[in-house]
Amino acid sequence: MDSKKQVVKQNAIFEYLRDSLFANRFMGYPGYCLKRYVKKVAKIVENGSDFLDAGAGECQYKKYFSHVNYVSQDNCIGDNEWDFSDIDIKSEIYNIPVENKSFDYILCMEVLEHLRYPHLAFKEFHRILRPGGKLFLVCPLSWQQHQKPHDYFRYTYFALKMLGEEYGFELQEVNKEGGKFTTLMQIINGIIPTFFIERGFNKIGRLSQIVLYPVHFPLGVLFYFLDKLDREKDYTPQFECIYINKS
């Protein structure tokens, strides 16, 4: 096995272990839901359809869409260590250099909160999406500031519905992923690690996640089941939306 394949295999093993420990339904429920949502989307989109991953970052979801004509877009501004080499279209999301009605589907994952002009993104999505096409979008409501200083908004259900309707979309489906107990668990998980990370002690912060795991995991199990008692979920970490282009 050459060195490149070995690195890829090692990264895959590390990702699997990380997700198994820290992105399951008890620890890291929002991250767990993100992958579940993307897998759901992958089953919805037809083989050979034209598919845009808007604000794709490092194209982490590309592997789920080998059956479509996958195109990635990003302005390539993010965390310093990110690798944008796989981005197909480098542009602002408000002005994507493609023809009108170019795509059957658009995926927009945790991007909306980083946009200064979210209404212009919906306007552009409407322009490049074919009539009857779908926009799959996830964005947070209860979440800490991240990718500073490019973090501008949090969205309620009513804002998401309004933004879509103003630009020709119908909010066909929306799910609140988690409630107040899920949100509380995310805060508890992050208090000590972020205390060190914010002070530049990244390794100690990550180590603390492992040290605290025997305490946090059973607490996460408890909060997961308590969360089912929260019917309104007005403190949800994030919304999962499916819009349909009506025109």
Task: Say what the pTM is.
Answer: 0.90
Strand pairing class (129-140; 89-90): unpaired
What does the block give as tokens for 49?
Answer: 């359809």
Contacts of 132 (CB under 8 A, 6+ apart): 244, 245
Interatomic CA distance for residues 113 and 109, integer angstroms: 10
Say how many C-beta atoms besides its own lie within 10 A of residue 17's C-beta: 10
- pLDDT for 99 equals 97
Q: Which residue has the higher pLDDT, 21 or 206?
A: 206
E strand map for 1-125 = 50-54, 69-74, 89-90, 103-109
Give the residue-averaged pLDDT of 184-204.
92
**One-letter identity of residue 165:** E
pLDDT at 1 over 80: no
| Interior/surface letters 149-162, b for 16+ CB within 10 angstroms, e for the rest | eeeeeebebebbbe
Residue 136 bridge partners (DSSP): 107, 242
Place of tokens 């508890």: 188
pLDDT of residue 78: 79
Tell me the domain boundaries of the chain: 3-179+230-245
d(CA 163, CA 135): 13
C-beta separation of 104 from 69 below 8 A: no
The whole-number pLDDT of residue 79 equals 78
Say which residue, 79 or 219, is predicted with more confidence.
219
Q: Are the C-beta atoms of residues 247 and 165 closer than 8 Å to each other? A: no
Cβ within 8 Å of residue 70, ≥6 positions away? 51, 53, 62
- Classify domain 3-179+230-245 at the CATH class level: alpha beta
